[in-house]
């Protein structure tokens, strides 16, 4: 496959000593640690001490401030901390610190190592670096870390909200894998059964170990970190994030853009994904409740959405970003009545298969119960969103990607007119 994978991936109490040994073996004698004030306290100092004790030449840059955003100022700050010597960059942190380090190391052609401080997101092994460019968040293709070293004690001691967020990002795989299957079945979207199964398995492992993850036992945190890395490896192996990111992620992305636009504080990615997964699992539950005869009636009444009305909806929901969203969504906007009829026919012909896919998604109440056990938010109001903002995301989140998710299925079946989810 096109992308180099991290090797080794170490999740262990002595991970930092192993990182030092790795650097010696591969002659990475000069290093720059990137951290923020929190991750420096939790991990950076311990990492720095370990590397210095091993006789390595270590610099460290701490990104200060309440909310670290992957933007030009942060990139510049990391560049300033470099000297003329080629240095391996070590991201000592979770999502954003890793993304900033990922981007700089790629563009400066430096070796990139990841030392996660919290099991909060499945992006550690990722090649995409979401960066804020002129106010718009864009995921730039970069590279995966050459290796990952997660100190188990540090990760088990991470804030509960961050552990819950990582757990919720994994629970989202129940709906993302089901969407991955639907897209293949109904619209011939690119698919791989092994990737689907691997991604589903990580969700199952975390579901079964929810209690222990809620208590942050070291063994369960190792399971969670392994699950997050494995989900990322599935993305690398498949070549895009389709298996790990479905309608639940589209809602989360919508909310993230809304917060940015309104200048409101960011919310942990996984926290948004968890609540969105409850909502999307609700759509799967509605799908499970439909008989074949009912579906036939609904399809009979279903017509291709009007292009002008779709564009107006995108414009109203996305403002300045509407044009880019409409471009991404082009394949759906340009759909002919014939293509629409083909999808309708496929829905009816494959209704048993659709039911089998939907059966693998736990009911929304079960998703909410699991999130609660882990200590994460379960409702939109806990995230600080109004019902109107939740409805806005449900109505418009699906425009963000060119994918056939259960949200699209609900639309064809007219389920989106029945707002019983909120």
Footprint on this chain of Zn ion (rule: CB under 5 A): 169
Q: How far is the CB of 123 from Zn ion (least distance, A)?
A: 7
Q: How far is the CB of 158 from Zn ion (least distance, A)?
A: 17
DSSP for 47-84?
HHHHHHHTT-EEEEEEE-SSS---SHHHHHHHHHH--S
Q: How far is the CB of 305 from Zn ion (least distance, A)?
A: 28
Half-sphere exposure of 354 (CA within 13 A, CB side): 31
With H, G, I as helix, E, B as strand and everything else as coil, classify residue 128. strand
Nearer to Zn ion, 169 or 179 (CB): 169
Q: How far is the CB of 382 from Zn ion (least distance, A)?
A: 18
Nearer to Zn ion, 256 or 372 (CB): 256
Nearer to Zn ion, 169 or 230 (CB): 169
Nearer to Zn ion, 151 or 169 (CB): 169
Q: Which residue has the tokens 């409101």?
A: 264
d(CA 141, CA 126): 9
Task: For residue 8, say if its preceding peptide bond is cis, omega within 30 degrees of 0.
Answer: yes
Nearer to Zn ion, 101 or 176 (CB): 176
CB atoms within 10 A of CB 319: 11
Q: How far is the CB of 96 from Zn ion (least distance, A)?
A: 14
For residue 224, give Cα distances in angstroms to 143, 240, 302: 23, 22, 42
Yes or no: say if 68 and 86 are a contact pair by the CB < 8 Å rule. no
Q: Which one, of 271, 224, 227, 231, lies nearest residue 252 by Cα?
A: 271
Q: How far is the CB of 285 from Zn ion (least distance, A)?
A: 22
With H, G, I as helix, E, B as strand and everything else as coil, classify residue 129. strand
Nearer to Zn ion, 256 or 310 (CB): 256
Q: In the chain, how many H helices and how many E strands?
A: 23, 8
């Amino acid at each position: 496959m096109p992308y180099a994978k991290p090797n080794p991936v170490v999740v262990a109490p002595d991970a930092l000593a192993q990182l030092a040994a790795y650097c010696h073996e591969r002659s990475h004698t000069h290093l720059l640690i990137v951290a923020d004030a929190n991750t420096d306290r939790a991990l950076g100092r311990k990492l720095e001490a370990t590397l210095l004790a091993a006789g390595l030449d270590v610099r460290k840059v701490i990104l200060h401030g309440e909310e670290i955003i992957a933007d030009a100022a942060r990139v510049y700050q990391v560049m300033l901390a470099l000297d003329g010597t080629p240095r391996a960059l070590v991201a000592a942190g979770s999502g954003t610190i890793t993304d900033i380090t990922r981007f700089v190391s790629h563009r400066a052609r430096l070796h990139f190592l990841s030392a996660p401080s919290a099991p909060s997101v499945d992006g550690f092994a990722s090649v995409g670096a979401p960066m804020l460019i002129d106010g718009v968040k864009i995921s730039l293709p970069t590279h995966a870390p050459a290796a990952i070293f997660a100190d188990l004690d540090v990760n088990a001691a991470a804030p509960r909200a961050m552990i819950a967020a990582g757990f919720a990002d994994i629970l989202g795989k129940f709906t993302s894998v089901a969407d991955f299957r639907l897209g293949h079945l109904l619209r011939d979207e690119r698919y791989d059964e092994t990737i689907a199964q691997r991604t589903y398995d990580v969700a199952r492992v975390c579901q079964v170990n929810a209690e222990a993850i809620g208590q942050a036992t070291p063994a369960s945190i190792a399971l969670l970190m392994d699950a997050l890395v494995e989900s990322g490896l599935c993305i690398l192996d498949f070549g895009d994030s389709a298996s790990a990111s479905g309608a639940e992620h589209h809602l989360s992305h919508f909310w993230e853009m809304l917060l940015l636009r309104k200048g409101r504080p960011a919310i942990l990615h996984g926290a948004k994904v968890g609540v969105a997964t409850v909502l999307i699992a609700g759509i799967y539950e509605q799908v499970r409740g439909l008989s074949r005869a009912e579906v036939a009636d609904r399809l009979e009444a279903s017509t291709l959405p009007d292009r002008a009305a779709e564009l107006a909806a995108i414009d109203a929901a996305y403002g300045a970003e509407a044009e880019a969203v409409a471009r991404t969504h082009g394949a759906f906007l340009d759909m002919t009545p014939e293509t629409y009829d083909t999808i309708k026919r496929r829905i009816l012909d494959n209704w048993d298969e659709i039911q089998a896919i939907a059966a693998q998604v736990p009911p929304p109440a079960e998703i909410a119960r699991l999130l609660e056990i882990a200590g994460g938010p379960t409702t939109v109001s806990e995230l600080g969103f109004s019902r109107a903002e939740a409805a806005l995301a449900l109505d418009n989140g699906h425009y963000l990607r060119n994918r056939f998710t259960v949200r699209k299925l609900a639309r064809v079946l007219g389920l989106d007119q029945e707002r019983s989810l909120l």
